[in-house]
Structure 1
Amino acid sequence: MKFKTLVRVSMIVGACAVSLGVAQAAEVEGPKVSWNMSTWGKARAFTVGPEWISQQLAEKTGGNFTLKIHYGEALSKARENLDGIKIGAFQSAQFCNFYHPGKNPAWMVLTMPFLPLGDLELSMHVREALMNTPEFKADMDNWNAMPYFSALLPQYEFLGRGPAPKTLDGWKGMRVRAGGGVGTAMEKLGATLTTVPATDVYTGMERGTMDAASFPYTYSHAAYKIHEISNWFTSNMSPGTSECAMVLNKDAYAKLPPQYQKLLMDLKPEAYKVQIKAYHDIDEKNLPMFRSKLEEIVYSDEQLEEFRKIGGKPVWDQWVAENKDKFDAQGLLDLIFAEAKKAANK
């Protein structure tokens, strides 16, 4: 009996010591706050930034401010994350703009093909500038959300099965997964589009309901194991990208004490560095693996120039014309080029 009592006392003393250690380690004092974030898939390069933010929030507050990331659509379907944010089902979520263009029309500018977003650090500056525009904020206001952190999606490439499209004519009649302006550009090559969520692509390709899928290169293809059912990949098509962002529920953010709000914002610059490094690291691993197992399609400069002529500015002009009466579509497009030039000259 005495031994059991001693064990209990030791455990209590130990727990108190740990608790005191955590409290002393806190850089930012504050109340207990528990947040949940809804996303899909599993932990991967795409989620390294939010994972780092979650870790830092806990460490810097001595465990008082926690952000739990829920994978596999455990809290909400990917296409319904903004709906969940609106009703306060969770405090944070990731969403991709091309999953639901009607929910975020201004954000669709980041799906336009052949934008100057190839360099990830430059891309970060452009995306941050856009998330601070009235147009982007207005889209999120409709869902009681505030933009917070971009996943900085790299340029897209395609993986596919069946006959490889070694010429631009080879895309005619192909069923491809591509969204937004990139999808429109592919349509101009004669492809048929589908915009299924990333989690459904493997099944679609395996069952033969689609021939190829565009994903941020190379991490996302590998994360969803698309390379396992493909026999070719493009490596220099670079048709564009899109935007998948982490947003916060506005009411939840407003209820945070000022020091927690500041901490969230202070963590962003380093989180972007961590995010960029994750993409570079995974490319170093995946590209040799792709080349060892799949046929690599490399287009000539002449082919790429023809693709840009067909699917570049004509797609931008079409998008501006469709949205000019809804918001400053041309202004958003111009801002991308202005911010890219500014970042490149730093």
Structure 2
Amino acid sequence: MKLLKKTALVGLLLASTSAAAQTIEGPEVNWSFSMWGNPRALSAGMEAIAEEVATQTGGNFNIEIFYGGQLSGSRENLDGLQLNAFEGAAICNFYHPGKNPAWMVFSLPFLPLGDPAVDQYVRSKMFEHPAIVADMAAWNAIPYMSGLLPQYEVLGSGDAPTELSDWEGLRVRAGGGLGDAMEALGATKQTLPAGETSTAFQRGALDAAAFPYTYAHVSFGIADEADWFTSNLAPGTSECGWVLNKTAYDSLPEQYQTLLMDLRGMGMDVEQAAYAAQDEVNLPVFKDTMEEIVYSDEQLAEFREIAGQPVWDAWIADNAEKFDSQAVFDAVWAYAEEAQAQ
């Protein structure tokens, strides 16, 4: 019943905009977006925006998302934008940390992003931060819409790490500051692209993988390889969001630019509804087929002490000469406080 309600919510979000829409006049424009993997919750928001753009322009402005790396590999999407090979793309910040150093703030562990409403507010504000904008400007891109990835959890094979000491020596797919947090527990971090992770499990080259809970574990076949899953570790997340080709965006008529920007809130609402709907389906299966690891409050407090402040301090120090890393970090917390006060 809950799944049906949440699925219906996605439909209502689309219907509510379409019902009130009036056709926007303008020239014929065709855009291509680059995305790896298959259509999934992460792409649901952008798919909804593409549909609404076509509806409101009477089919004159069309956005087509190309999946499976048809246009570019997951690590090369920024390069493709710089070369004007396509008009938009999804990127994951930890696939290429050197290309988007300020964006790596989103991958720091234990940020105050667990509440979906707070998360959406903070990321929307951060997408306008000068350092975040500057990262994309270097690649002829502009930040568009956050992927709002849920908090990560870890799925793995072999013996379950029921104690924090059990992470010692495990090979864990985890990127950015989240990977640093796992290293603080003694694990070895690996930053494989999502599409290569299941194969790494099958080859015995990987013990565990951190992904947005639960949809990505299913989308990329990790759940098929795993024996256990954590359900309350919530160590952090990352930013796999959508960016636009700046040259292409600047070339749009003003009414098309306004339409794109006005639809971001709807797109993020659709994303979050899609994630919630996936959890309704996936969690019962996880519980039936895998061992669930639930850490105690004491264990979680110990993890945050080991892998929270030290990882934050190291990131700020390592990036201080590249941009105002302290200001970027502080902005996340300030926006979270704003969101909670509303």
Is the structural similarity TM-score above 0.5? yes
Deviation at 1:277, TM superposition (A): 0.7
Amino acid in structure 2 at the alignment position of 1:129: K
Aligned to 2:137: 141
1:338 and 1:287 mapped to 2: Cα distance?
A: 33
Q: For 1:1-346, what aligned pairs fall within 5 Å after superposition?
A: 27-346=23-342
* Residue identity in the other structure for 1:317: D
RMSD value, Cα = 0.8
TM, length-normalised to structure 2: 0.93
- Aligned residues between the structures: 322
CA distance, structure 2, for counterparts of residue 85 and residue 148 of structure 1: 13
What residue identity is the alignment partner of 2:232? Answer: N
Q: Distance in 1 between matches of 2:252 and 2:22?
A: 17
Which amino acid in 1 is paired with 2:44? Answer: V
Q: CA deviation at 1:44?
A: 0.6
Counterpart of 2:101, as a letter, is P
Q: Partner letter of residue 133 of structure 2?
A: K
CA distance in 2, matches of 1:97, 1:56: 27
1:265-314, CA deviations, whole angstroms, 9 ceiling, x for partnerless residues?
11111111111111111111111110010000000000000000000011
Instruction: Name the aligned partner's letter for residue 173 of structure 2.
Output: R
> How far apart, CA to CA, are the structure 1 residues paired with 2:201 and 2:59?
43
Residue type at the aligned position of 1:263: L
| Poorly superposed stretches of 4+, deviation over 6 Å | none
Structure 2 Cα separation of the partners of residues 26 and 72 of structure 1: 34
Query: Does the CA-based 8 Å contact 1:79-1:100 persist in structure 2?
Result: yes
Verify the 8 A CA contact 1:137 1:147 in the aligned structure 2. Answer: yes
Aligned AA for 1:226?
Answer: I
**What percent identity do the matched residue pairs reach?**
55
Contact 1:26–1:62 at 8 Å: present in 2 too?
no
Shift of 1:245: 1.2
Q: Distance in 1 between matches of 2:168 and 2:283?
A: 27
Q: Secondary structure at the match of 2:32?
A: strand
The range that moved more, 142-151 or 322-331, is 322-331
Structure 1 distance, partners of 2:199, 2:27, is 45
What SS does the corresponding residue of 1:288 show, helix, strand or coil?
A: helix
Which string of whole-angstrom CA distances, capped at 9 and with x for unpartnered residues, describes residues 181-204 of structure 1? 010010010001110100000000
Q: Distance in 2 between matches of 1:80 and 1:265?
A: 25
Provide the residue aligned with 1:6 in structure 2.
none
The alpha carbon displacement at 1:344 in A equals 1.1
Q: CA deviation at 1:26?
A: 5.8
CA distance in 2, matches of 1:345, 1:206: 47
Q: Displacement, 1:174?
A: 0.3
Give the superposition deviation at 1:210. Answer: 0.4
Which of these two proteins has the greater Rg computed from alpha carbons? Answer: 1
Contact 1:38 1:74 in 2 (8 A): yes
Question: Which digits, 9 at most, give the CA deviation of each residue in 1:184-240, with x for residues without a partner?
Answer: 010010001110100000000111100000000001001112111111000000000
Distance of 1:249 and 1:49 partners within structure 2:
18
Instruction: Identify which range, 268-277 or 38-47, moves more after superposition.
Output: 268-277
**TM-score w.r.t. length of structure 1:** 0.92
Structure 2 distance, partners of 1:146, 1:271, is 17
